[in-house]
Amino acid sequence: MANMLNLGILASGRGSNFQAIIDEIEAGSLPAAIKLLIVDNAGAYAVERAKKHAIDYLYLDPKASPTKDAYFSAMALELKKRGVELVVLAGFMRIVRKPLLDAFPNSILNIHPALLPSFPGLHGQEQAVRHGVRISGCTVHFVDGGMDTGPIIIQAAVPVSPADTEDELSERILKMEHRIYPEAIRLYAEGRLHVADGAVEISGYEMHDSYIVNPPLGNRK
């Protein structure tokens, strides 16, 4: 049994992955405790989720810091004060800077709605639809100084129909995000993730079939 892992969550918007993590913790299937939610947007709905589940939260205004590095230094300080061991980006719409990376080496996770290294950056789902791919998905990875460039931990693939809109594909991918993000955190909590030569090795792990391909699309009208 893994030790209880202290999490810090960063979010900018609705925080649906934040909710998925909360649900797994409350179900007793994820050995973790959320010590702090930090948002960079005062109107982020993730705050309402934190209130509902009695989770400490903090709005850090980016405009209140003289530089981007100062902003992330302040963030690192708040997380460290609460004993956070793993930082989880849940729809956090900023590139993480060096002060936070240095404070949490190989201990910051992100989830991206595409099969990296394809379609990094914004609107990965729209990019997939526009390029006519037949398989897309989502990726959990460690965060480095680039945009969606860190070592890949776990991926899930979903089918793409030629008739899909960006919203339809986004919804299908999001369901898988909610499954694999808590799984990646669980693997971290169990000490089974090891970064070597820019790649992640997972000790004693067999990928679950449901993370390979989502159920078929079925007939479409």
Q: Among 200, 203, 188, 202, which Cα is nearest to 3's?
A: 188
Using an 8 Å Cβ cutoff, are 138 and 177 in contact? yes
| Residue of 112, 131, 194, 208 with catalytic role | 112
Q: Among 88, 89, 143, which Cα is nearest to 116's?
A: 143
CA distances from 32 to 24, 81, 86, 206 (A): 9, 17, 10, 22
Active site residue 112: yes
Name beta bridge partners: 135.
159
Using an 8 Å Cβ cutoff, are 143 and 151 in contact? no
| Active site residue ranges | 112
